[in-house]
Amino acid sequence: MILSTLLWTACNGPKPSGDLLGENAEVLWNLQGDATISDGFLTLNEGATALLKKGEYDNFELTLTLRLTETGKGFLAFHSDEAMTKGYRVALDNDLTDEEWWTKTGSLLGVRNLTKSVVKSNEWFDMILRVEGNAITILLNGTPVVEYIEPATPYRTEEHALQLLSNGTFALKSEAGTIEVSAISLALLPATTDLSTQLADAIDETDDQIIRLHQENFPVLDYHVHLKGISADEAAAQSRRYGINYALAPNCGIGFPITSNEEVLQYLKEMEGQPFIQAMQGEGREWPETFSKEVRDQFDYVFTDALTFTDRKGRRTRLWIPEEVFIEDEEQYMDLIVEKIVVVMQEPMDVYVNPNFLPDVMNDRYDAFWTDERMDRVITALKDADKVLEINHRYRIPNQAFIQKAKDAGLKFTFGTNNADGDFGKMEYCIEMKEACGITAADMYKPNIQE
């Protein structure tokens, strides 16, 4: 329930609720640094904090209306203490130049980091934070962006050991730029009676690799997802469930779902406001001429593979279709594949995907065909053209030896599922290679994310 403004002191009275920026709001908040409350308006400049003075809140719904400057960055803490050492933090950050580009506004920091903000700098937006039992829900402008259930045995690193539900107060902090708040209201919620049902729905974090990536502050993004066998709404719900951000990529090229500039623009219009990074998959070798640079640049990044080409006898080849693979000498054919990969590096794409794919009749000897000399040739082409390498979950390619060489050469990486249906998985091969090759957050590609 939302109550009227309460005149309250730190010495007595009930926990404050209702309108927390109304009349006598200065009594409720402890302002530190360059922070002011005036006429129901809270302003936090760099380094400032506003701490709700008293209250051990557990179940609640907190509603805020905020605006961030372009460099505005901070967080909302809850179930916290005066020192803000315990509980959770919700990111307030739309800065597209931020090095930690994977912790945008609405992120439940360290647990459900978001790579795409659905709200913009210098524009007012509404945030709802709801805690009911072990369920934490965050909505931005009415759209759910986080739905996390803390399990009975949550995985936490030593650094995040106190990042748990309990009870506590609220705090807003600006770490850079300015955060403006025009409204804060608090509704107290009854204790959840069906906690067992919530815990049954929670992800078991004892062996979940995704929570480990979040706790490590590693960007949790599947850079290569298609809406195949799943709708955008279903993909968003699955993203919130698993804690994996998705970059959606329509297939663009002759004979594919999107075949013209006009269809690209229509697709992007339909995707406005969605919580997905937007990528383009260029198909065939004609795609750079089929789609203008102006249109391609409206995506956050572009990727393509080298699976389609014309062989030395002028035959169209698609390596994943056995009937279109014409092999007379396997070693010569392997050299042809490498040659075609090197040529693709000159196309106007950012990321080389489905990397080093081999047709079925050769794939059982993958490591033998990918000799050091061939790997080095492709890596040199990638590096010279400043391209990014995908680690592909669907095909489990490239192999570890190639990935290690690529890392040693200083290449950037993406993790890609390249799903054929609605079952995306959890990037298991990508994470396996991350651990085996020592890939860090600094090794991951930063998309040119656009508002």
Q: Token pair of 202, please?
A: 């929670």
pLDDT of residue 11: 41
Domain ranges in the chain with CATH number 3.20.20.140: 218-443
Tell which residue, 18, 128, 20, has the closest CA to residue 65: 128
Q: How many residues does the chain have?
A: 451
pLDDT of residue 24: 85
| DSSP three-state, residue 112 | strand
Sign of CA dihedral 418, 421, 424, 425: negative
- For the chain (451 residues), the mean pLDDT of every run of 10, in chain order, is 35 68 91 95 97 92 95 95 96 90 97 96 97 97 97 97 97 97 96 88 97 98 97 97 98 96 97 96 97 97 98 96 97 98 98 98 98 98 98 98 98 97 94 98 95 70
Cβ-proximal residues to 38 (8 Å cutoff; 6+ apart), any chain: none
User: What does the alpha-carbon distance between residue 381 and residue 344 come to, in Å, rounded to a whole number?
Assistant: 9
Q: Token pair of 266, please?
A: 């229509």
**pTM (2 d.p.):** 0.94
User: What does the alpha-carbon distance between residue 424 and residue 138 come to, in Å, rounded to a whole number?
Assistant: 24
User: What does the alpha-carbon distance between residue 222 and residue 115 come to, in Å, rounded to a whole number?
Assistant: 10
Q: Token pair of 15, please?
A: 């926990």
pLDDT of residue 54: 77
pLDDT of residue 354: 98
pLDDT of residue 322: 97
* CATH code for the part of the protein at 18-201: 2.60.120.560
Cis peptide before 257 (omega within 30 of 0): no
| Domain covering 218-443, topology | TIM Barrel (3.20.20)
User: What does the alpha-carbon distance between residue 325 and residue 132 come to, in Å, rounded to a whole number?
Assistant: 57
pLDDT of residue 3: 31
Domain ranges in the chain with CATH number 2.60.120.560: 18-201
Query: Cα–Cα distances in Å, from 346 out to 92, 226, 374, 381, 387?
Result: 39, 25, 18, 9, 9
| DSSP three-state, residue 142 | coil
pLDDT of residue 99: 86
